[in-house]
Chain A
């Protein structure tokens, strides 16, 4: 799939096909006087990892909150597994949410519950499974994420990386079709970052998930990403495979990749 044009406005993406788990069309959202999303277009291929990158304040997390239905857009469309969620009421949204798993930036584990109870929570609240069956699924999932034997720990007793793993187990326990991750490696050292990335790739391949991830961890995250979407000032500026976006030679993207904000070099020279 070719990358979109590098003119500050994403070219209108092709008509929706069965290959896309998530399609976003001209999404707009304003907070007070500030327009945060200025017409976002995005396609997420089913069974692939799509990583959204961009400078701080460009609207990545706001976009993710629209995709996981925590926010409603002012205008535009979001189609998830063929369902236009922008037209749904609350009960309809809940049905769509059951297809998601979400890993929040800090894990968002419930402090008053053990790791076991955290991971079991979606099953206890949303299914009629028997307690023994739930226990078996929870132990299996914790083993999958490398937390075997940690069932009785509380979140405060876990390291940052272990909390992310427990949160990932909770996100996966209901066999979602789509997994969303909000900066899963923020706050982790390079070793833990590598292991989380490896876990995400392994999990995606094992369960055949569609993964949408927001990450600051460039270029390391490119190693596990099938597609990258570069967001800039409320719009998608580049999308494509990691090789395509890197080879696009876009000035703004290159500056972002090099870790420089726009105009910093000129400002430093002027001083």
Chain B
């Protein structure tokens, strides 16, 4: 009997701990969003984060976008040729990139690069009491450290996704038309005729949500890292893994809503 009671107590404690953690997680975001829209505003910090998250990710995103488009061009041509539909290559490449691969892959790449760095930076600041130092100086640490990153992420992710899409479409043209011999006019006309504003906005809405989620998760994990070396590394790993999972999960939910 006592074993059963002990099990129930442990289960109850586990549930309470997890619900508390989830509540803290959500409160963290709501606090960051509230601080973002209340003074004192931090435009310089936000611009600095946009450079770090956005501008410094452009080359990586462009590179991945190019290779993604090139693979799509190659695979797409070989598949469409079986059905005599090489002319649809441009439509296929563009729609797949703009609606799905662009926002998802760009978000994953920025998570790996900037999200991990952000979690490590905040974790290191937590471990060395720099966050406490801000609080003691009467500076709200979340307003100073987190809100600029969240705003920068929400702005940067759609812009990076757009760059990914354009470079990817060009990559698909380079391989599909330039190398494989698909008709170039059909490639471009297909995009113009079959891609709508809704397709483009779908991808950008996804990117915006991904930007919010990634910044939220990476900042939360770094901010709450345990004050030791393994704590920082664990926070960084968890930030990247959780962000990646949530990107894919939210991709499904958003696709089901926006289709």
- A contacts, CB < 8 Å to B: 68-70, 94-95, 97-98, 100, 102, 104-106, 108-111, 121-122, 125-126
Contact = CB atoms under 8 A, between A and B. Distances in A.
Given A105-B129, A108-B129, A108-B130, A100 B136 contact: yes
B59 interface: no
B124 A97 contact: no
Contact of A104 (B133, B138, B139): B133
- State the main secondary structure of chain B at its contact with A: helix
Residue from A98, A100, A102 whose CB has the most chain B CB atoms within 10 Å:
A102
B137 interface: yes
A94 B137 CA distance: 8
Contact of B136 (A95, A97, A111): A97
B135 A70 contact: yes
Contact of B138 (A98, A106, A111): A98
A110 B139 contact: no
A126 B128 CA distance: 22
Nearest to B133: A108
Contacts of B135: 69-70, 97
A110 B144 CA distance: 13
A183 to B, nearest CB: 12
A98 B137 CA distance: 7
- State the main secondary structure of chain A at its contact with B: loop
A126 B129 CA distance: 20
A125 B130 CA distance: 15
A103 B130 CA distance: 11
A95 B137 CA distance: 10
Contact of A110 (B130, B132, B136, B138): B130
- Listed from nearest, the 6 A-B pairs whose CB atoms lie closest are A108-B133, A94-B138, A97-B138, A108-B129, A102-B136, A104-B129
A93 to B, nearest CB: 8
Given A106-B128, A108-B128, A111-B124, A70 B138 contact: no
B137 A104 contact: no
Interface of B: 124-125, 128-130, 132-133, 135-139, 144
Given A106-B128, A108-B128, A111-B124, A126 B133 contact: no
27 contacts: A68-B136, A69-B135, A70-B132, A70-B135, A94-B138, A95-B138, A97-B135, A97-B136, A97-B137, A97-B138, A102-B136, A104-B129, A104-B133, A105-B129, A106-B129, A108-B129, A108-B130, A108-B132, A109-B130, A110-B125, A111-B124, A111-B125, A121-B137, A122-B137, A125-B137, A125-B139, A126-B138
Given A108-B128, A126-B137, 12 more contacts: A70-B132, A94-B138, A97-B135, A102-B133, A104-B132, A108-B129, A108-B130, A108-B133, A110-B130, A111-B124, A111-B128, A125-B144
B254 to A, nearest CB: 35
Contacts of A104: 129, 132-133
Contacts of A111: 124-125, 128, 130
A98 B139 CA distance: 10
Contacts of B128: 106, 108, 111
Contacts of A109: 130
A122 B138 CA distance: 9
A193 B144 CA distance: 34
Contacts of A102: 133, 136
Contacts of A100: 136
Nearest to B137: A122
Contacts of B133: 102, 104, 108, 110
A188 to B, nearest CB: 17
Contacts of B137: 97, 121-122, 125-126
A155 to B, nearest CB: 10
A89 to B, nearest CB: 13
Nearest to B40: A125
Contacts of B132: 70, 104, 108
A126 B140 CA distance: 11
Contacts of A68: 136
B42 to A, nearest CB: 10
A80 to B, nearest CB: 13
Nearest to A94: B138
B124 A70 contact: no
A172 to B, nearest CB: 12
Nearest to B144: A125
